Chains A and B, each alone.
Chain A
Amino acid sequence: AQSVTQLDSQVPVFEEAPVELRCNYSSSVSVYLFWYVQYPNQGLQLLLKYLSGSTLVKGINGFEAEFNKSQTSFHLRKPSVHISDTAEYFCAVLKSSSNTGKLIFGQGTTLQVKP
């Protein structure tokens, strides 16, 4: 079975500072990895995904993530955050051979960007 651990429940950061949101996964099989963002009272929006190929993945809104197979990690980074990045961020894993599309989510990380 797959599992996802987001290592920080809350990350406070000042505007224009860099940020890293950490995600580790556990799986005995090949997986796809995703980061989703949830703004207050909204649904989830895909930020970026790793399916194969280059381990550095660029997404929307200036975010990027690096897949590290040896450390089973998929950390999300942004070099300079804005107030508008304040939201809940979810890491998720999908078995690459899945024919059901069942996503396993981490517990979420609240990013709080302060002025």
Chain B
Amino acid sequence: DTAVSQTPKYLVTQMGNDKSIKCEQNLGHDTMYWYKQDSKKFLKIMFSYNNKELIINETVPNRFSPKSPDKAHLNLHINSLELGDSAVYFCASSPPGPGVGYGYTFGSGTRLTVV
């Protein structure tokens, strides 16, 4: 059983399109995240939700909109895709309270290619 699962694994799309990436965790964690890994493999947080509430919203273009229908799911919708959005997007989750110190569980990533 996959702990944090993302779909799709690969996504190739044209500029200007709108796309979504889905993430689900079955660990019972309260906090979920989206990280972006660029072409130089640098990882940076985009968003964080705690029990469906947005708690981190980094300086990300407003074309990116996260949605958390329940605490086990965190989806990422991207409007008007641009070439610079090409990256690997990782979903992750972590346990609540002091447990955030015990480390995350990451999904296997979604490789987005905008052409």
Tell me the complex Cα distance, A45–B56, Å.
22
Closest to A107 in B: B42
Using Cβ atoms and an 8 Å threshold, which residues of chain A touch B94?
Answer: 101
Stretch at the interface among A19-27, A68-76, A78-86, A88-96: A88-96
Using Cβ atoms and an 8 Å threshold, which residues of chain B touch A100?
Answer: 31, 48, 50, 55-56, 100
The answer on a CB contact under 8 Å between B109 and A43 is yes
Closest to B40 in A: A107
Interface residues contributed by chain A, number (CB under 8 Å): 25
Residues of A92-109 whose CB lies within 8 A of B? 94, 96, 98-103, 105, 107-108
A63 at the binding interface (Cβ < 8 Å): no
Cβ of B88 to closest chain A Cβ, rounded Å? 9
Using Cβ atoms and an 8 Å threshold, which residues of chain B touch A102?
Answer: 45, 48, 56
Using Cβ atoms and an 8 Å threshold, which residues of chain A touch B42?
Answer: 105, 107-108
Residues of A4-52 whose CB lies within 8 A of B? 32, 34, 36, 38, 41-46, 49, 51
Using Cβ atoms and an 8 Å threshold, which residues of chain A touch B83?
Answer: none
Tell me the complex Cα distance, A102–B97, Å.
13
Closest to B107 in A: A43
B108 at the binding interface (Cβ < 8 Å): yes
> Quick one: CB contact mask for B63-97 with A, threshold 8 Å, 1 for yes?
00000000000000000000000000010101001
Cβ of B74 to closest chain A Cβ, rounded Å? 13
Using Cβ atoms and an 8 Å threshold, which residues of chain B touch A90?
Answer: 43
Question: Contact partner of B101 among A41, A45, A94, CB < 8 A?
Answer: A94
Tell me the complex Cα distance, A57–B4, Å.
26
Cβ of A33 to closest chain B Cβ, rounded Å? 10
The answer on a CB contact under 8 Å between B55 and A96 is no
The answer on a CB contact under 8 Å between A44 and B40 is no
The answer on a CB contact under 8 Å between A49 and B103 is yes
Tell me the complex Cα distance, A108–B100, Å.
22
Closest to A31 in B: B101
Binding site for B on A (CB under 8 A): 32, 34, 36, 38, 41-46, 49, 51, 88, 90, 94, 96, 98-103, 105, 107-108
13 more CB-based (< 8 A) A-B contacts, given A42-B108, A101-B94, A102-B48: A38-B41, A43-B90, A45-B106, A49-B102, A90-B43, A100-B31, A100-B55, A101-B48, A102-B56, A103-B45, A107-B41, A108-B41, A108-B42
